[in-house]
Structure 1
Amino acid sequence: MEHTVTALPTARQSGCPFDPPKELTEARAQSPISRLTFADGHQGWLVTGYDLVRSILADPRFSSRRELMRHHPLIDYGDVETPPAAPGEFLLMDEPLHGRYRKPLVGKFTVRRMRQLTERVEQITADHLDAMEKAGPPTDLVTAFAKPIPAMMICELLGVPYEDRGSFQSQVESLISGQVGDDEMLTAYTSVQHYLAELVTAKRADPTDDVLSDLVDGDFTDEELRGIGFLLLAAGLDTTANMLALGTFALLRNPAQLAALRADPALTDRAVEELLRYLSVAKQFYRVALEDVEVGGHTITAGTMIILAYHAANRDPQRFADPHLLDLRRDDGGHLAFGHGVHQCLGQQLARVEMRVAFPALVNRFPTLRLAVPAEEVGLRPEAADIHGVTSLPVTWDV
């Protein structure tokens, strides 16, 4: 029997900022795939079951091409045409174009290479903890810790000169914060794109030890390199920053789990994977059927859009025991926080390194770390935002 959801659920339950919307959980209990009406009336599908989400992500009959994403679950754009992804922004492309951009980057993001960056992540983390300690409590952990660490690492990867990093990060912050108006966001977007174009030109003239410099000898145009730089920036900063902030919030709300992490450094790797599963900050991704495809007993016709609800799939009781519990000792693995298939997150190993360093360093430096406001007063990002997180996280500690 076909289950129907009339609109994409986005509202979190009061007092449950880490859980998916209740309606998503209820929809998954009825069926791992449901009919969904998009804002413009398009009849698409919502996939909430772990197995189905994973299978669709690995199925080339479902497309990631931006120009095919003609509908939005929450906004009716009317007859506005969706342009193709900009050159280099391969997340919104299919094979073979996707592979042309991605394959030269794979070697830059290996587990081994990312582990080599651990020492630099440790230094950046220690510097920000030193600054927090010197300034004293209270502080906003988002601005003091969660955002600067991935921002600095992205600057290192792209080879942004030290003297430019302050202004560059300021423009990026305006772009990804979701807290500025359309005009300011457009200005920030234009500024970031302009700076990346200048950076590509500089790398061609004088390559340094960074990802962009590694690519300038290939067959990419300046426009393609700029697009690659923008994609790495957009994909690698906002997600990790929100994992660090929301992850700390979740640990502070689960003191037994926080105590376990402090007591057992060997728990760190497993704790990071569990936080990734539990929080699923990248809530959902879209696909479009390129042909009629049978999924979960239903025929998804060509041209139909699908929403893959990562946060619901990562809480699927058919895959994870007691999925709504944060259990840092969980060992069933296999979460979809980084996706699956050819589009699985390229920078996942760097994100893991940052979290494996940052979480234990923070909670051990400040043993009495706690919220400085009631939990219900912590500001959450807009419910319609694609990336879940907090706008600020006021914390304090004993001095």
Structure 2
Amino acid sequence: MAANDKFEGWLGLDKESVNGNMQWGEFEPKKWSEADVDIEVECCGICGSDLHMLKSGWSQTPYPCVVGHEIVGKAVRVGSEVKDIKVGDRVGVGAQARSCLKPDCEECSTGQENYCGNGNVSTYGSIYPNGEGKSYGGYAKHNRTHNRFVVKIPEGLSSTDAAPMLCGGITVFSPLKRNGAGPGKKVGIVGVGGLGHFAVLFARALGADRVVAISRKADKREDALKLGADEYIATDDDKDWEKTHKRSLDLIISTVSSAKMPLTGYLGLLRVHGTYIQVGAPDGGELPPVNAFTLLANGIKLGGSGIGSPDEIKEMLQLAADKKIKPWVQTRPMKDANAAIVDMTAGKARYRYVLQN
């Protein structure tokens, strides 16, 4: 490919694009550098973040944009500075396209590039420094990304299973691993959806003693148990759930993004010195208020987590391949992307859509 080639994909032109109004067309990827990899997109997962970006939910989107940051495909052009990827490799890209990568950056120099505060570039909708252009995602035929954020897909893991792990999977795997989900721990997962179903799968794969799925309604109970949960709490339907399950969990990962969720009730499920980690990101960032005494009464740690580093993604993918983790994926043709995002918005995915070229 020439450096000035045009790529093709589904363009979001304004806030109405989230209602199934993306337009197929050409776009100009970031300027080529010898540290980059061009990928022929085989498939791309649909993430809730895509919907937020299409409708300018978190902030004003720099339209036009091409969303999609769960990309798997074939490396078709590899820069001369790239050492560990060659043309023909099956590779993936998650939610991050670059960080500052400076040796004196505390985050980048310690394998925490996802928290870089100096030059974090998302896979789509970000403006590169130094006039390099804009980042465009994977609802497209091709993607161009810095090699540090391009990972090889292990053998034994299908492309359509790997794709949604690159954001949905890592967003929950990272806080599970960093907060000790494993033998001897009882883990609660709030929300049984795209993220939550991955959290149940990975908590089980990491060896947690007990995995408890938590949702509003009882209609996902059977799914949660099939995914590997030992127990299910329906906060709208199970009477006295706060009392029945009080101080029973060591760690809670919340994938829910609602200012109306019963946060105080969730915190009451934690044992002394338990940890609550928020990963769901609502429009506007608003969460329910927290009473200080709820935290003080049993030493609760309240935190958050955002995606994961390239090294964590590699570790997660290898674990998925080794443990034969099978996410619940529904494939859709790339040509039907508009219909797929409408269905995603309506909550019809069980539990992750993946677009295929």
Q: TM-score, normalization: structure 1? A: 0.26
Q: Which has the higher contact order (CA 8 A, sep 6+)?
A: 1
Which one has the bigger strand percentage?
A: 2
User: Larger C-alpha radius of gyration, 1 or 2?
Assistant: 1
Q: When you count helix as a share of all residues, which structure comes out higher?
A: 1
